[in-house]
Structure 1
Amino acid sequence: MDFEVWPEAIELGRMFAEHGYELALVGGPVRDLLLHRRSHDLDFCSSARPEQFEPILRRWGHDGFWDMGRKFGTLGAMRRRPDGTEVKVEVTTYRSDTYEPDSRKPEVNYGDSLEGDLSRRDFTVNAMALRVPELEFVDPFGGANDLAKGVLRTPVDPSQSFDDDPLRMMRAVRFVAQLGFRIAPDTAEAICRMADRIDIVSAERVRDELVKLLLSDRPRAGVEALVESGLADRVFPEIPALQLELDEHHRHKDVFEHTMIVLDRAVALETGPDGPVPAPDLTLRLAALMHDIGKPKTRRFEPGGKVSFHHHDAVGAKLTRKRLKALRFDHHIIDDVSDLVELHLRFHGYVDEPWTDSAVRRYVKDAGHLYERLNRLTRADATTQNKRKAQIFASAMDEMEQRVKDLKEKEDFDAIRPDVDGNEIMALLDLKPGPMVGRAYKHMLEYRLDNGPVDHDVAVAELRRWYAEVSPQA
Structure 2
Amino acid sequence: MDFEVWPEAIELGQIFEQHGYELSLVGGPVRDLLLHRRSHDLDFCSSARPEEFEPILRSWGEGFWDMGRKFGTLGAVRHRDDGTEVRVEVTTYRSDRYDPDSRKPEVAYGHDLLGDLSRRDFTINAMALRVPSLEFVDPFSGASDLVKQVLRTPIDPERSFDDDPLRMMRAVRFVAQLGFSITPDTAVAISDMAQRLSIVSAERVRDELVKMLLSERPREGIEAFVESGLADVVFPEIPALQLEMDEHHRHKDVFEHTMMVLDRAIALETDDEGPVPAPDLTLRLAALMHDIGKPATRRFEPGGKVSFHHHDVVGAKLTRKRLKALRFDRHLVQDVSELVGLHLRFHGYVDEPWTDAAVRRYVKDSGHLYGRLNRLTRADATTQNHRKARMFAQAMDEMEERVVELKKREDFDALRPDLDGSQIMQILNLKPGPEIGQAYKHMLAFRLDNGPTDEQTATVELRRWWNERNG
Same fold (TM over 0.5): yes
Q: Residues 58-97 of structure 1 correspond to what in structure 2 (within 5 A)?
A: 58-61=58-61, 63-97=62-96
4+ runs deviating over 4 angstroms: 1-5
**Residue 2 of structure 1 contacts residue 36 of structure 1 at CA under 8 Å; is this kept in 2?**
no
Q: Which residue of 2 aligns with 1:119?
A: 118
Could you tell me which runs of 5 or more consecutive residues in structure 1 were left unpaired when the two chains were aligned.
Answer: none
**Residue 58 of structure 1 contacts residue 77 of structure 1 at CA under 8 Å; is this kept in 2?**
yes
1:16 aligns with 2:16: yes
1:5 shift after superposition: 5.8
What is the TM-score when the length of structure 1 is the normalising length? Answer: 0.98
1:2 shift after superposition: 9.6
1:251 shift after superposition: 2.7
**Residue 25 of structure 1 contacts residue 132 of structure 1 at CA under 8 Å; is this kept in 2?**
yes
Tell me, in whole angstroms, the C-alpha distance in 1 between the residues paired with 2:2 and 2:81. 20
Tell me, in whole angstroms, the C-alpha distance in 2 between the residues paired with 1:156 and 1:174. 20
Q: Residues 395-434 of structure 1 correspond to what in structure 2 (within 5 A)?
A: 395-434=394-433
Tell me, in whole angstroms, the C-alpha distance in 2 between the residues paired with 1:2 and 1:382. 50
Q: Which residue of 2 aligns with 1:32?
A: 32
Q: Which residue of 2 aligns with 1:41?
A: 41
**Residue 5 of structure 1 contacts residue 40 of structure 1 at CA under 8 Å; is this kept in 2?**
no
1:379 shift after superposition: 0.4
One-letter amino acid of the counterpart of residue 302, structure 1 = E
One-letter amino acid of the counterpart of residue 288, structure 2 = L
Could you tell me which runs of 5 or more consecutive residues in structure 2 were left unpaired when the two chains were aligned.
Answer: none
1:153 aligns with 2:152: yes
Q: Deviations over 1:352-398 (max 9, x none)?
A: 00000000000000000000000000000000001011001011001
**Residue 103 of structure 2 contacts residue 163 of structure 2 at CA under 8 Å; is this kept in 1?**
no
Count the aligned residue pairs: 471
Tell me, in whole angstroms, the C-alpha distance in 2 between the residues paired with 1:42 and 1:104. 25
**Residue 25 of structure 1 contacts residue 129 of structure 1 at CA under 8 Å; is this kept in 2?**
yes
One-letter amino acid of the counterpart of residue 247, structure 2 = E
1:110 is paired with a residue whose SS is coil
**Residue 119 of structure 2 contacts residue 154 of structure 2 at CA under 8 Å; is this kept in 1?**
yes
One-letter amino acid of the counterpart of residue 33, structure 2 = L
1:272 shift after superposition: 1.0
Q: Which residue of 1 aligns with 2:280?
A: 281
Q: Which residue of 2 aligns with 1:443?
A: 442
Tell me, in whole angstroms, the C-alpha distance in 2 between the residues paired with 1:314 and 1:467. 33
Tell me, in whole angstroms, the C-alpha distance in 2 between the residues paired with 1:447 and 1:234. 48
1:468 shift after superposition: 1.8
**Residue 98 of structure 1 contacts residue 165 of structure 1 at CA under 8 Å; is this kept in 2?**
no
- Decide which moves more: 327-336 or 268-277: 268-277
- Decide which moves more: 290-299 or 134-143: 134-143
1:274 shift after superposition: 1.6
Q: Which residue of 2 aligns with 1:190?
A: 189
- Decide which moves more: 362-371 or 99-108: 99-108
1:467 shift after superposition: 1.4
Q: Which residue of 2 aligns with 1:214?
A: 213
**Residue 250 of structure 2 contacts residue 306 of structure 2 at CA under 8 Å; is this kept in 1?**
no
1:253 shift after superposition: 1.2
- Decide which moves more: 384-393 or 76-85: 76-85
**Residue 320 of structure 2 contacts residue 337 of structure 2 at CA under 8 Å; is this kept in 1?**
yes
**Residue 176 of structure 1 contacts residue 222 of structure 1 at CA under 8 Å; is this kept in 2?**
yes
One-letter amino acid of the counterpart of residue 441, structure 2 = K
**Residue 317 of structure 1 contacts residue 341 of structure 1 at CA under 8 Å; is this kept in 2?**
yes
Q: Which residue of 2 aligns with 1:455?
A: 454
Q: Deviations over 1:383-415 (max 9, x none)?
A: 000101100101100100000001011111111
One-letter amino acid of the counterpart of residue 14, structure 1 = Q
Residue identity over aligned pairs, in percent, reads 81
Tell me, in whole angstroms, the C-alpha distance in 2 between the residues paired with 1:395 and 1:343. 20
Q: Which residue of 1 aligns with 2:302?
A: 303
Decide whether aligned partners of structure 1 residues 190 and 447 sit closer, same or farther in structure 2, where only a CA change above 3 A counts.
same
Tell me, in whole angstroms, the C-alpha distance in 2 between the residues paired with 1:456 and 1:2. 78
Tell me, in whole angstroms, the C-alpha distance in 1 between the residues paired with 2:371 and 2:298. 29
One-letter amino acid of the counterpart of residue 209, structure 1 = E
- Decide which moves more: 42-51 or 75-84: 75-84
**Residue 5 of structure 1 contacts residue 39 of structure 1 at CA under 8 Å; is this kept in 2?**
no
Decide whether aligned partners of structure 1 residues 43 and 436 sit closer, same or farther in structure 2, where only a CA change above 3 A counts.
same
What is the TM-score when the length of structure 2 is the normalising length? Answer: 0.99
1:266 shift after superposition: 0.4
- Decide which moves more: 27-36 or 457-466: 457-466
- The RMSD of aligned alpha carbons is 1.1
Tell me, in whole angstroms, the C-alpha distance in 1 between the residues paired with 2:124 and 2:429. 75
Tell me, in whole angstroms, the C-alpha distance in 2 between the residues paired with 1:107 and 1:31. 27
1:329 aligns with 2:328: yes
Q: Deviations over 1:240-297 (max 9, x none)?
A: 0000013122232100000000000000000011211010000000000000000000
